[in-house]
Structure 1
Amino acid sequence: MSDTIFSKIINREIEADIVHEDDHCLAFRDVNPQAPLHVLVIPKKPIDKLVNAADSDQALLGHLMLVARRVARDQGYGDAFRLVMNNGEAVGQSVFHLHLHVLGGRAFEWPPG
C-alpha cells in the first residue's frame, strides 16, 4: 500500500487532532466534519479497504468498532452515533487506508446517500 495521508498521520508527518491512540489504532477529528462529531478511526496496520482485510484481521476490525464506541462516549455522544465505512472509490472512499467514520450530534436520513 502506498503512503496515504493517514499513514503520514500515524507516522506524525502530518498533524491531526488525535482523540485516541493505542497499539493498534488511531482516532482523530475529520478536517472536513459532516456532523458535530466526526472522528475517523484507523488501524495502524496498512489495509487499503475492507475487502482486502485478511481473516486474521478479525480481532483488529472488532477493536476498531469498540474504539469507535469509546470515542463516541468520550466525546459526549453516548449511545447515539453512526458508523460508516466506505469500501471503494465508487461508494465514496477517497483515502485508501481502511477507516471508520464516527458521526453524531445531528439527525441522519435513512437510507443514507
Structure 2
Amino acid sequence: MAPCIFCQIVGNQIPAPRLYEDERLIVIADKYPKAPVHMLVITREHIPSLNEVGPGHAELMAHAIAVLPEVARRAGLDDGFRTIINTGPGGGQEIPHLHIHVLGGGRLPGF
C-alpha cells in the first residue's frame, strides 16, 4: 500500500503551502477545488476516517472545529462557509486520512 499522501504532507516529504498550522492540525488548499475557496483541515495524527474516531479523539475533534472560524476568516470567507467530512468510500472519501473540507467564496450548490 502506498504511503498516505496527507502523512507525507504533514511530514514535509511532499510540499504544500500551509494556510494554518498548529501542533494538531495543518490546513492546505485543495489541489482540486470544488469552490472558489476550498481548504482541507488535516489532522497530524493519522486517523483513517471519522469511523475510527473515538472518545480519545474528543479534544482533537473539538480543536479542529474550534479553529474553523479563524481559518475561514483568514481566507476571506466572511459571508459564510461550508464544512464537509467525507467518510469511507460510500461517503466520497478519496484519501484515507481524516480531513475536513472548508468551502466558500461564492454560491455553493445545495444538497
Q: TM-score, normalised by structure 2?
A: 0.93
Please state whether the residue corresponding to 2:65 is helix, strand or coil: helix
Residue 64 of structure 1 aligns to a residue in which SS? helix
What is the distance in 2 between the residues matched to 1:9 and 1:18? Answer: 10
In angstroms, what is the RMSD of aligned CA positions?
1.2
Deviation digits for residues 8-64 of structure 1, max 9, x if unmatched? 000001011210010001000011111111110011111110111121101101111
- Listed as ranges, the matches of 1:47-66 within 5 Å are 47-66=47-66
Consecutive unaligned residues in structure 2, runs of 5 or more: none
Give the CA deviation at 1:3.
2.8
The question of whether the paired residues in 2 share the 8 Å contact of 1:73 and 1:79 is answered with no
Contact 1:72–1:79 (Cα < 8 Å) also in 2:
no
User: For 2:42, what is the secondary structure of its paired residue?
Assistant: strand
Aligned residue for 1:39, secondary structure, equals strand
Report the counterpart of residue 100 of structure 1 in structure 2.
Answer: 100
Using the TM superposition, give the Cα deviation of residue 79 of structure 1 relative to its aligned residue in structure 2, in angstroms.
4.8
Query: Which runs of at least 4 in structure 1 moved beyond 4 Å after TM superposition?
Result: none
User: For this pair of structures, how many residues does the alignment match?
Assistant: 110
Amino acid at match of 2:83: L
Does the CA-based 8 Å contact 1:35-1:105 persist in structure 2? yes
